[in-house]
Amino acid sequence: MKRLTLSALACATLLAGCAGANVENLTQAGGSLFTAATLSDANVKTLSDQSCAEMDKKNTIAPADSTYAKRLATVMGGLGNTGLPLDAKVYVTKDINAWAMANGCVRVYSGLMDFLSDDEVRGVVGHEIGHVALGHTKAAMQVAYSAAAARGLLGSTGIASLTALSSSQIGDLAEKFVNAQFSQRQETAADDYSFDLLTKNGANRQALATAFRKMSTLDGGQSSMLSSHPGSQERAKHIDDRLARQR
């Protein structure tokens, strides 16, 4: 087994982002980078709890009696059988986005809900839950932690002092997590998870494909070898193909 240097370990942790990283900075951030690579499920939950709370402070949450909150309750009602402790809320913003953290924190932006139907939002949220259930969000938090450590934003924080991170440190970490990218393999796996979850709940699976097609009007719908994500049209076709095989 080849012995990894600290810089190699940092690159492995940073995944595709390593190519654009400053190796000197990565090495100087050694202790925190090693911590990131060895974050346990409990560590990741702690960071997710903190990050979600920080994001909630920075955003306007739709009141429980609002149309958005009621719509999301309907959406989540069709996403049972996950075995995960989910806490779903709506951020009131024109941005079109949704994400979930390893602690079950699910946040859907009102801009996405304005753009998609409830069935389509359910498919997208199922996809985000898939990233949690399949362990992708744990890896994404490790990458976010590594990126923050490489920039010296976490000081010499180790595992034992994760709860001592400042609000600004947690805020930076949360932003990096929300903006993290998953690999094509992870995105496809999360799409399949959503499809299977919709199937278990007797929900509208075709809506997952229509959601991707609507999203393609925003991203051009083309898959590029330079992109880390499959194109939205490609993802829609994958769902269509799965539906066709089950007819």
Beta strands in the chain (DSSP E): 87-91, 98-100, 105-109
* Contact assessment for residue 208 and residue 224, using Cβ atoms and an 8 Å cutoff: no
Q: Is the dihedral of CA 52, 210, 190, 201 positive or negative?
A: positive
Structure token pair of residue 210: 């229509």
What does the radius of gyration of the chain's CA atoms come to, in whole angstroms? 19
Asked if residue 7 lies in contact with residue 19, where contact means CB atoms within 8 angstroms, the answer is no
54 is a catalytic site residue: no
Catalytic residue, candidates 24, 54, 120, 128: 128
Which distant-in-sequence residues (6+ apart) come within 8 Å of 28 by Cβ? 152
The residues annotated with a catalytic role in the active site are 128
